[in-house]
A and B are shown apart, each in its own frame.
Chain A
């Protein structure tokens, strides 16, 4: 999977699974923060995202320290996933 495809799949997953039904993938800025400002996700979304990334991409995030790094933006998360898949 290319990074572009990962990003697209990721954005759709976030919208659908976290019930952001008023958004389209295009409206999620690649570099905007996912948490706090930007998309406004919170700690419960974060742990849900861990499960979703494992389920949809087969990539494990072992704790929230790692999660905090990976979840900074859609772009960073897609890179993280791409790296783990390649390994």
Chain B
């Protein structure tokens, strides 16, 4: 699948220029959030995203009922379409896939607030409608006029990879000529609290944001960001992952699974300090790989990554010719995904 446009919003800012800037500087502006516990307020770092630039694309009145989660998706999607030069293009043969790990959590809990505060008969229908996982896709399809197939996928860390299967299907079956595909996840206090009670990798900063891509068939001869040339997804059941020798692997360097299951000599980069820890992190890795392919450069991994498992991390900007990038995701229960991006 050819990548003809990318749009991003996250803790680093909004758009590919801001993303490139954060990668060059080696970090993004970390905010502090407070989480309520039985022992009082606890502070946590977070990489928060601001969707207010959505006003550039959609009038405020049109989004009055639309929540933070859907606004992030809307903004990234519009940026991707703008980047691809397709902001005003026809939409009949366009498909839409949204991947999300947790869905619209703020609205989910706001709906519960309406029930708990005032009673069952006072549940808010607007909050309920917006709390369903496919609300973002619904808003996108309405505001962009997408009448092709629309799909929302929710699979925690595997959400983005599994959504790529469906995009590929639609292009292959000629249901669509282009697919707008993206991942979106938002921060909310409850998630912050759960992270505090169920800690994973200690150095990971919780993040939120959206990364969207405009994909088309491989027939595109020279797409600006290259191609998604391979997709592997499933359960590895203890086997080493198969990745090309000349690829740079983008992964979460703090997780021991990577040491165990990637080839020992692989060159590795890890960019999560740029966008934070969130289930759809793979979409941001894909955006960074796309940027690398477009600019012909490799961004160094931010120092904040650390390298507890002594992987072969690229820490300085180097004159490397990297023909392909593999975005790798592993979960603790043996699921894996490898998405390969290449110039051709």
Residue of B nearest to A50 (CB): B125
Indicate which residue in B64, B65, B125 contacts A51 across the interface (CB closer than 8 Å): B125
Indicate which residue in A44, A45, A51 contacts B122 across the interface (CB closer than 8 Å): A51
Nearest CB on A from B90, distance (A): 26
Given A44-B129, A55-B118, answer yes or no on A18-B124 (Cβ-Cβ < 8 Å): no
Categorize the interface residue count of chain B.
10 to 19
Residues of B within 8 A of A45 (CB): 65, 126
In the complex, per-residue mask of B95-124: 1 if CB is within 8 Å of any chain A CB, else 0: 000000000000000000000001001111
A50 to B304, CA, bound (A): 51
Query: In the complex, are the beta carbons of B125 and A48 less than 8 A apart?
Result: yes
Residues of B within 8 A of A37 (CB): none
**Residue A22 at the chain B interface, CB threshold 8 Å:** yes
Nearest CB on B from A19, distance (A): 4
**Residue A63 at the chain B interface, CB threshold 8 Å:** no
Query: In the complex, are the beta carbons of B121 and A48 less than 8 A apart?
Result: no
Query: In the complex, are the beta carbons of B64 and A20 less than 8 A apart?
Result: yes
**Residue A72 at the chain B interface, CB threshold 8 Å:** no
A45 to B125, CA, bound (A): 9
Residues of B within 8 A of A32 (CB): none
A21 to B60, CA, bound (A): 9
Residue of A nearest to B66 (CB): A19
Residues of B within 8 A of A24 (CB): none
Enumerate chain B interface residues (CB-CB to A < 8 A). 60-61, 64-65, 118, 121-126, 129
Could you show 5 A-B contacts with beta carbons less than 8 Å apart? A44-B129, A45-B65, A45-B126, A48-B125, A54-B122
